[in-house]
Homo-oligomer: A and B are copies of this chain.
Amino acid sequence: MSDDKVTLAHVARLAGVSMITVSKVLNNKGRISEATRARVLQAANQLGYVANSAARSLRGRPTQILGMVIPELVSPYFAEVARAAADSASQMGYDLAVFTTSRDPERERERVGTLLGGLADGLVFVVPIGAAGFLATLERSRSPVVLVNHFGAPTHLPVVRADSFEGSLAAVRHLIALGHRRIGFVSGAAHSSQAAERLRAYRECMMAAGLWDEQLVRPGDFTQGRGVEAGHELLSLENPPTAIFAASDLTAFGVIAAARSRGLRVPEDLSVVGFDDIPAAAHSHPGLTTVAHPIPAMARAAVELIARAMAGEKVRDVLIEFPSELVVRDSSAPPPAPGDRRKSP
């Protein structure tokens, strides 16, 4: 009942021809008579033959597969990136093989090797926090590689990324324009260059407006849980903020949860702005004011860049940067009039 692997040899024997003939039929190469072709296809079907892609790719054939290495799929941001890329790839006739690495550098290296070592024709590498230590290796590789959201060490590899600075600037300016003077900030993970950009924008803007106060900045890690903690920390200050800018939407949700648990209303008592514009931001109540990365556009650009590289085009040193954009929803409003604010316990 259960054969082992079915190989070309099995099909060939059943069809009464050589392996090569089978290979030619299956790849539509060379000249084969209709009769032989039919016999081979029938035999292949009967045996349930499926080509061994490892052997095939070892022989140097393109696989029509694009690889993606991404830190994780758990956070909505990365999930969005993966699905957008899968979409774009599919539209261009490629399939996307998505690998997660849990941010383990050893795994990153391995997975990149797996993909470039024959499995995939090209690689989209979504750079994790802290960037990869083996970009040099990647540069040396002949295979087309595109880095997504790389902000680290300079490289000749093509990069597609979304700006975090301008969008963050817009967010803080928005809050200042609404009349806020005490604006808290919950930052992203320590080694994320995206997080650094967001903090830099906040700092620059606050300093320029003469509103800078180190107490208003709390470390974060992009998670919701940390948002809750940081929210409580900020709201416990003796001169608490009337608005909080969080470096991710999840963190912003955490801040909102913290505020509510203290009896504060959003946005009447506290304005909250997030970053990422994950789908939940639009569906939450109140709708979350946030900064959006154009993820589908980025994904499309990355896939297109890969395709161009595979077509032989030179893409060294290409850098495509997408602007981030402030999306104003309902979680930001003017600060409460002095004395009008509910006191948090």
Binding site for B on A (CB under 8 A): 1-6, 48, 50-58, 63, 65, 72-74, 76, 79, 82-83, 86-87, 90, 95-102, 107, 109-114, 116-119, 134, 136-137, 139-142, 253, 279-280, 283-286
Could you give 22 example pairs across A and B, Cβ below 8 Å? A3-B140, A6-B140, A51-B113, A52-B58, A53-B54, A53-B113, A53-B117, A54-B118, A54-B119, A55-B58, A72-B83, A79-B83, A90-B102, A95-B99, A95-B100, A95-B107, A95-B110, A98-B98, A253-B283, A283-B283, A284-B284, A284-B285
Q: B86–A134 contact, CB under 8 A?
A: no
Residues of B within 8 A of A285 (CB): 283-286
Separation in Å of the A99 CB from the closest CB of chain B?
Answer: 6
B51 touches A54 (CB 8 A): no
The answer to whether A96 and B99 touch (CB under 8 A), given A50-B137, A117-B51, A142-B5, is yes
CB neighbours of A100 from chain B (8 A): 86, 90, 95-96
CB contacts (< 8 Å) of A63 on chain B: these are: 114
Copies in the complex: 2
Closest to A118 in B: B54
User: Does B65 lie within 8 Å of A73, measured CB to CB?
Assistant: no
Whether B58 and A86, one on each chain, are in contact in the complex, defined by CB atoms closer than 8 angstroms, is no
- Do A58 and B54 form a contact, CB below 8 Å, given A79-B79, A99-B96, A284-B285? yes
Tell me whether B134 and A48 are in contact (CB under 8 A): yes
Measured in the bound complex, the distance between the Cα atoms of B50 and A109 in whole Å is: 8
Residue of B nearest to A91 (CB): B102
Contacts of A2 in B (CB 8 A): 139-140, 142
- Report the nearest B residue to A63, measured CB to CB: B114
Closest B residue, CB atoms, query A6: B140
Taking the closest CB of chain B, its distance from the CB of A44, in whole angstroms, is 11
How far, in whole Å, are A3 and B137 apart by their CA atoms in the complex? 11
Given contacts A48-B140, A53-B113, A55-B58, list 17 more A-B pairs with CB under 8 A. Answer: A1-B140, A2-B140, A50-B113, A50-B137, A52-B117, A53-B117, A53-B119, A54-B54, A54-B55, A54-B119, A56-B117, A73-B83, A82-B98, A90-B102, A95-B110, A96-B100, A285-B286
